[in-house]
């Protein structure tokens, strides 16, 4: 109730009145309180129901690396959803290793967490009998798990890259390259595929220029040194995620070339760079919130068929895609 009151900017007493259908609350205030209650997933009897079912009031979150802003924003959002519902969140990093991920999942299940949100390290289903037999609700996010029948929250990777290519083409670019992350990641392959198919659909010249990672500043510098100076010079690049964007920005600075660019993933200082960096924004906080909400729906007894939600991305246009690139000017 305190969370609802704070969120709706009213007193706890007012929230109590609305919940218990008591008089003395203005209709528009009541509407606002109801909207917040709906949004926060607050239900008067949820807590009691969960206790009756022998729950531990903990959920788990397994990500690759909490220090990466993409994952820390997911973590903050999942933790908030848990806290609002009086649950605690156990976070664990798998550091990209499916083996470690399995160990972490088993430990969470041994701890009897009520449910788990997982950004999977690999794509093979967790055939691990402990995980399967536990019946613990699991929601996957960011990357699907092949053969798994779990709720899954994804981002529209293909649409995101398509919007980046279209933006660059609309500003006169014809020679666009794609710098992807490690193709071991499903998201990296989705984005590459979208780049190749959009390149073809828009009739851009030549075979699509693609280099998948893992990338470093050095590897990108070597690529750009060739691509920016051959007979059909690349004038713009699209990066595959925040890690690659950072390496590409350093590489361009080192080479003193200023290609046009659209980065995948928004980042805090994008607007302060020269030029400000246009990005595909996939809103990790909203993805984390959605995944947690789906998990809590299951914990409250939702037995409908598993669903996959694909969340839209948004192109944030600043300036880096709109100027013609080339060697240092």
Contact call for residues 279 and 167 (beta carbons, < 8 A): no
Q: Structure tokens of 61?
A: 């979150």
CB of 52 to a second copy, least distance (A): 19
Shortest distance, CB of residue 121 to a second copy, whole angstroms? 14
Instruction: Report the residue number, 43 or 80, with the smaller CB distance to a second copy.
Output: 80
**Is 243 or 298 the residue whose CB approaches a second copy more closely?**
243
Q: Give least dist CB 169 to a second copy, A.
A: 27
Terminal CA-to-CA distance of the chain, rounded, Å?
Answer: 59
* Residue with Cβ nearer a second copy (93 or 136): 93
- The two beta strands, 278-281 and 236-239, are unpaired
Q: Which structure tokens are listed for 158?
A: 């293909």
Asked if the bond preceding 275 is cis, omega within 30° of 0, the reply is: yes
Task: Closer to a second copy by CB, 71 or 140: give it.
Answer: 71
Identify the CA nearest to 79 among candidates 58, 64, 48.
Answer: 58
- DSSP class of 16: H
In the complex, the smallest distance separating the C-beta of residue 88 from a second copy, rounded to whole angstroms, is: 5
State the DSSP code for 305: P
Q: Which residues contact 180 (CB under 8 A, 6 or more apart)?
A: 188, 191, 192, 195, 210, 211, 212, 213, 240, 244
Residue 272 CB, nearest distance to a second copy (Å)? 5
Q: How far apart are CA 237 and CA 10, in angstroms?
A: 49
In the complex, the smallest distance separating the C-beta of residue 85 from a second copy, rounded to whole angstroms, is 12
67 or 133, CB closer to a second copy?
Answer: 67
Query: Of the two residues 69 and 326, which places its CB atom closer to a second copy in the complex?
Result: 69
Candidates 143, 139, 227; CA nearest to 181 is: 143
Q: Which residues lie closer than 8 Å to 48 by C-beta, 6 or more apart?
A: none
Shorter beta-carbon distance to a second copy: residue 34 or 250: 250
Binding site for a second copy (CB under 8 A): 58, 65-67, 69, 71-73, 75-77, 79-80, 83, 86, 88-93, 104, 107-108, 111, 246, 249-250, 253, 267-269, 271-274, 285
Among 286, 299, 302, residue whose Cα is nearest residue 154? 286
Reading the block at residue 183, the tokens are: 């193709």
**Closest approach of a second copy to the CB of residue 61, in Å:** 9
- Report residue 180 as tokens: 């992807």
Check if the beta carbon of residue 292 is closer than 8 Å to that of residue 279: no
Point out which residues pair with 236 in neighbouring strands: 176, 260
Q: Cβ of residue 2: shortest distance to a second copy, in angstroms?
A: 8
Q: What are phi and psi of 299, to 5 degrees?
A: -65, -25
If DSSP codes are grouped into helix, strand and coil, which group holds residue 214?
Answer: coil
Q: In the complex, what is the shortest distance from the CB of residue 271 to a second copy, in angstroms, rounded to a whole number?
A: 8
Nearer to a second copy, 107 or 170 (CB): 107
Q: Select 60 or 180, whichever has its Cβ closest to a second copy.
A: 60
């Amino acid at each position: 109730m305190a969370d609802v009151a704070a969120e709706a900017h009213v007193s706890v007493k007012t929230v109590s009145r609305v919940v218990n259908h008591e008089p003395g609350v203005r209709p528009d205030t009541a509407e606002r309180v109801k909207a917040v209650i709906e949004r926060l997933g607050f239900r008067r009897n949820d807590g009691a129901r969960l206790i009756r079912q022998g729950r531990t009031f903990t959920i788990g979150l397994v990500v690759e690396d909490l220090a990466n802003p993409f994952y820390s924003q997911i973590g903050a959002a999942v933790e908030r959803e848990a806290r609002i519902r009086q649950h605690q969140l156990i976070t664990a990093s798998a550091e990209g290793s499916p083996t470690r991920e399995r160990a972490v999942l088993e430990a969470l299940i041994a701890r009897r967490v009520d449910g788990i949100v997982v950004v999977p390290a690999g794509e093979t289903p967790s055939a691990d009998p402990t995980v399967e037999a536990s019946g613990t609700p699991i929601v996957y996010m960011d990357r699907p798990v092949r053969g798994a029948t779990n709720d899954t929250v994804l981002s529209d990777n293909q649409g995101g890259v398509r919007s980046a290519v279209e933006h660059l083409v609309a500003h006169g670019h014809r020679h666009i390259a794609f710098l992807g992350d490690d193709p071991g990641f499903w998201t990296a392959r989705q984005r590459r595929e979208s780049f190749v198919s959009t390149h073809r659909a828009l009739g851009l010249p030549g075979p699509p220029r693609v280099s998948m990672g893992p990338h470093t500043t050095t590897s990108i510098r070597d690529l750009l040194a060739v691509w920016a100076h051959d007979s059909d010079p690349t004038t713009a690049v699209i990066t595959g995620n925040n890690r690659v964007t950072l390496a590409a920005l350093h590489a361009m600075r080192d080479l003193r070339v200023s290609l046009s660019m659209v980065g995948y993933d928004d980042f805090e200082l994008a607007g302060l760079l020269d030029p400000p960096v246009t990005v595909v924004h996939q809103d990790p906080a909203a993805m984390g919130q959605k995944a947690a909400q789906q998990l809590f729906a299951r914990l409250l007894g939702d037995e409908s068929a598993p669903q996959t939600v694909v969340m839209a991305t948004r192109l944030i246009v600043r300036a880096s895609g709109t100027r013609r690139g080339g060697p240092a000017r």
